[in-house]
Amino acid sequence: MISGKIRSVFPVVFLLCALFFVVVPACAQDDNNISITYRGAGGYYVGDTIHFDGKNTLGNMTVIKVTGPGLPAEGVPPFNLSDAAGTGNTAGVDATGSWIFYWDTSRVTGAEKFHTARYTLTAFDLNNPSITASTSVMLKKPEFYATVTPNPATLDDYVLMTGTVEKGVNTVEINVLDSSGNKVHTFTSPVSSGGAFSYGFHVDMSPGEYTVKISSPSLANSLTRTLVVSAARVNATAANTTGTPSATVPVTGSPDIPAAQTTLPETTQEVTSAAGTGSLAISSVPTGATVYVDSVMVGTTPLSLNSVTTGSHTVELRLPGYLTCSMNVVVIAGQTAQVAPELVKTPNGMPLSPLTAIAACMGALVLFWAVGRWKD
């Protein structure tokens, strides 16, 4: 005859054995369920675009987050280092179980947090966050770093170039080159004692793609950035959205950043056509997501964007309670590119993974058994 204590222990032993046979096979097959890799040498400069891809046989949505020096241990979205810890950006999974994610580090919000260090990118399935795969890349801040905003820009926009350079450099030369390599503008910007520079000018160039080359005789390397000049300002038209141009904010000098130098255009031209442009039609499920195109907020979904310059653009959708959705969209002249992602809830709203649910149930049962023994 089995005693009361043995009878009370038997259910727990049974559950532990059942858990062993459920968890061990699951862990053994995790290696092939999700993967992540990068294309390239593994060493990149801040400002490069890095191609990641992998397999996900668990679901139709992969989440990617980044960790490293200066970032939360829980990880943050690669496109927004200042976003909530534990969240990430998403990449859709195709019918073959493959996914692709392009990380344009020149368009990262909070890029000033980057160090010259190794960063780890982790991928997991949206509904199975406990099953992960990781890879790491080396990011290096170049000898000098600069951003060009706004970009794309339109006629008479005030474009500001700000950056840092090694200490000891007094000035940098800024050349704006057209698609044929001809110099359109040449500027000289002072550099502060702390290595910071800031220079602005009003756009007076024809629509097209320009190269901004920043250099100094004191440096061995030069820095290049691409500046896109649109034929006309992007307009957002939708039933619930009215596009408003962003305000131009004057730059004020500080002890470390000299006041921006401004060059006014000698002539002004009126743009009457939008040749070489296309359109973007952006919607989302649910609606009401804030839309950013190349880091510029343009409205909320659903909306239509006209006179968008041809080429690749980064489209980002943000909605409280949902993961930020980022994707590269190619706009073709005279055509409308459709963007219609289904947003996914943040990890706090995600269902528990099977392993987490089993562990929680086991803990509750063990606690129940312990209380029963104490009462006996």
- Which ranges of 33-146 would DSSP assign to H, the alpha helix? none
Buried b / exposed e over 226-237, threshold 16 CB at 10 Å, is ebbbbbbbbbbe
pLDDT value, residue 326? 76
Pairing of strands 241-242, 144-149: unpaired
CA distance linking residue 303 with residue 316, whole number of Å: 13
For the ranges 115-119, 268-272, 306-310, the maximum mean pLDDT occurs at: 115-119
Instruction: Name the pTM for this structure.
Output: 0.47
CA distance linking residue 207 with residue 212, whole number of Å: 15
Residue 254 CB neighbour total at 10 angstroms: 12
CA distance linking residue 288 with residue 267, whole number of Å: 41
What does the block give as tokens for 114? 């980057």
Give CA separation, 33 vs 21, 29, 56, 60, in Å: 19, 7, 6, 12
- Which ranges of 88-185 would DSSP assign to H, the alpha helix? none
Q: Cis omega before residue 150 (within 30°)?
A: yes
Q: Which is it for the CA torsion 109, 156, 242, 226, positive or negative?
A: negative
**Which residues lie below 8 Å from residue 123, measured CB to CB, with a gap of 6+?**
34, 35, 36, 52, 54, 56, 62, 63, 64, 99, 132, 133, 134
Q: Determine which helix (DSSP H) or strand (DSSP E) holds 197, and give its type and residue range.
A: strand 196-202
Could you tell me what percentage of the chain is helix, strand and coil, using 3-state DSSP and rounding each to the nearest 5? 15, 45, 40
Q: Categorize the per-residue pLDDT at 241 as very low, low, confident or very high, splitting at 50, 70 and 90.
A: very low
**Arithmetic mean of pLDDT over the chain:** 75
Of 134, 135, 123, 103, the C-alpha closest to 56 is 123
Q: Categorize the per-residue pLDDT at 23 as very low, low, confident or very high, splitting at 50, 70 and 90.
A: very low
pLDDT(156) > 60: yes
pLDDT digits (tens, 9 = 90+) for 64-94: 999 999 999 999 999 889 888 989 998 888 8
CA distance linking residue 346 with residue 87, whole number of Å: 6
pLDDT digits (tens, 9 = 90+) for 86-107: 899 988 888 899 999 989 887 7
Cβ atoms 177, 151 nearer than 8 A: no
Residues in the chain: 376
pLDDT(354) > 70: no
